């Protein structure tokens, strides 16, 4: 199932439990103080523990196995002869010897993303579980109101009157209905009984877009009913709850309390 240190892309081993059995054997070995199975190539193992690798920084030596490099070299020896294989790897540019660099990098990206896809999917499924737990938690503790913040006002009710102005404070509604209003613009089910669908996107590459940033938050397009989560900053339930709460609190509409 792991020829040359690479897991086979096989639904057979999933449905018959072979992959699960390998995991159980490895877990039992570790629990008893023994070594884990040496079934992964070093590059494959590195990808499993670091799934958020930048696709623009991939290279043949550190991200491909020996067998991958042999395959890549055989393709690049005659790109015209291997046109179909190159296209199968997702390359859509010009195929000739003057574009070998682009072809090589595209194939490297194709090989690595095929391996990381299952890992990313697992992370994304975990984040959806975090969101569900967050919503359930708001139903259990409706008193939680997020972070209140002061509002500016330009009201002038009396000329020259000196009085202590009352500070207006905005507190976001952190109930399930309030959160849905933040996501979709409405706190209730559609009146026309159409199914309410929210598109969820996952940003795995925020560090690549802004290398010097330390934190970023979910972004919402209420009209499009779409939310995007910054994956590197929401890997645990605690991180997700903190980042999501700040996003809700600071992303509310400007209005008087």
pLDDT tens per residue, range 121-165: 777 888 888 888 888 887 776 555 555 555 444 455 554 444 444
Note whether 67 and 35 are same-domain residues.
no
Write down the pTM of the prediction.
0.50
Pairs from 148-157 (Cβ < 8 Å, separation ≥ 24) = 148/249, 149/249, 149/250, 151/254, 151/256, 151/257, 153/256
Note whether 7 and 79 are same-domain residues.
no
User: With 0-12 CB in 10 A as exposed, 13-18 as middle and 19+ as buried, what is 230?
Assistant: buried
The larger pLDDT score, comparing residue 251 to residue 90, is at 90
* pLDDT at position 256: 35
pLDDT in tens, 39-56: 777 777 777 767 667 777
Name the DSSP letter for residue 229.
E
Note whether 248 and 146 are same-domain residues.
yes
The larger pLDDT score, comparing residue 115 to residue 67, is at 67
Note whether 247 and 148 are same-domain residues.
yes
Q: Residue 45 falls within a domain, yes or no?
A: no
Note whether 147 and 248 are same-domain residues.
yes
Please compute the mean of the pLDDT values over residues 80-96 and round it to a whole number. Answer: 90
Note whether 175 and 218 are same-domain residues.
yes
Angle between helices 66-77 and 100-140 in degrees, nearest 10 = 140
**221 beta partners:** 226
Query: Quick one: tokens of 214?
Result: 């330390």
The range of the structural domain enclosing residue 112 comes to 52-122
Note whether 147 and 210 are same-domain residues.
yes
**Cα Rg of the chain (Å, integer):** 26
């Amino acid at each position: 199932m792991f020829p040359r240190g690479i897991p086979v892309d096989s639904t057979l081993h999933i449905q018959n439990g072979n992959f699960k059995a390998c995991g159980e054997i490895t877990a039992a070995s570790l629990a008893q103080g023994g070594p884990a199975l040496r079934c992964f190539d070093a590059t494959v193992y590195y990808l499993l523990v670091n799934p958020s690798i930048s696709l623009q920084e991939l290279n043949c030596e550190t991200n491909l196995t020996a067998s991958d490099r042999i395959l890549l070299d055989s393709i690049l020896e005659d790109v015209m002869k291997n046109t179909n294989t190159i296209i199968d790897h997702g390359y859509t540019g010009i195929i000739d010897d003057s574009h070998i660099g682009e072809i090589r990098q595209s194939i490297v990206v194709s090989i690595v993303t095929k391996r990381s896809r299952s890992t990313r999917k697992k992370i994304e499924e975990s984040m959806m579980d975090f969101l569900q737990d967050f919503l359930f938690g708001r139903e259990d503790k409706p008193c939680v109101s997020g972070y209140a913040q002061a509002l500016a006002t330009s009201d002038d009710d009396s000329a020259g009157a000196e009085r202590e102005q009352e500070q207006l404070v905005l507190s976001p509604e952190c109930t399930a209905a309030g959160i849905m209003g933040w996501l979709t613009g409405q706190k209730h089910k559609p009146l026309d009984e159409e199914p309410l669908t929210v598109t969820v996107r996952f940003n795995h590459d925020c560090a690549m877009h802004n290398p010097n940033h330390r934190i970023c938050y979910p972004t919402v397009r209420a009209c499009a009913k779409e939310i995007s989560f910054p994956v590197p900053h929401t890997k645990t339930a605690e991180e997700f709850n903190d980042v999501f709460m700040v996003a809700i609190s600071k992303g509310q509409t400007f209005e008087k309390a």
